[in-house]
Amino acid sequence: MADSKYRLLQQLANEREAAAAERMQRAQGRLGDARQRLEQLEAYRDEYRGRFTARGQAGVGVAQWQDFRLFLGKLDEAVGLQNGEVERCLQRLLMERQGWQNERKRVMAFDKLMEREAERAALKENRREQKAMDEFASRQFWNATRGKGR
């Protein structure tokens, strides 16, 4: 079949889908990284709290207690900020996934359009061939009957 009039549009749609998939993949990677940093911060905070609690059983001074509370507050703040980053990354991933799905639908629509175009072209070709065969058969019949009639 000759090149479809939709071929260029289909190629552009495929390129846009690939770019959207790449953006979605990068967003997924950033989300994974953000979640990993959050887990590390939470683990460090829990470890710090556990070490101080163990040390505190032996007795700690007021200054050490205040330092502990201050540092633990900073760790809690960092965990909160990282939770926000995880949420932003998740929202970005959801947005990129929606964009990819939209591009995928467009590609599928062009695929269907080209498939229908190919079906119409094949049907047209079949009809042309059938017409040629009918004309050939008519000529053969005409020639056979004319030749016998003489």
Tell me, yes or no, whether 107 lies in a domain.
yes
> In sequence order, which ranges of 7-61 are alpha helices (DSSP H)?
7-56
95-108 pLDDT, tens digit each = 999 999 999 999 99
Expressed as residue numbers, the domain containing 74 is 7-149
Residue 13 has pLDDT above 80, yes or no: yes
- In this structure, the number of other CB atoms found within 10 A of the CB of residue 74 comes to 11
Task: Report the CATH number at residue 110.
Answer: 1.10.287.1700
- In this structure, the number of other CB atoms found within 10 A of the CB of residue 19 comes to 13
Longest dimension (CA), the chain: 131
Tell me, yes or no, whether 31 lies in a domain.
yes
- In this structure, the number of other CB atoms found within 10 A of the CB of residue 80 comes to 11
Residue 3 region by backbone torsions, left for phi larger than 0, else alpha for psi between -120 and 50, else beta: beta
Q: Average pLDDT in the 32-45 region? A: 97
Least confident of 54-58, 60-64, 83-87: 54-58
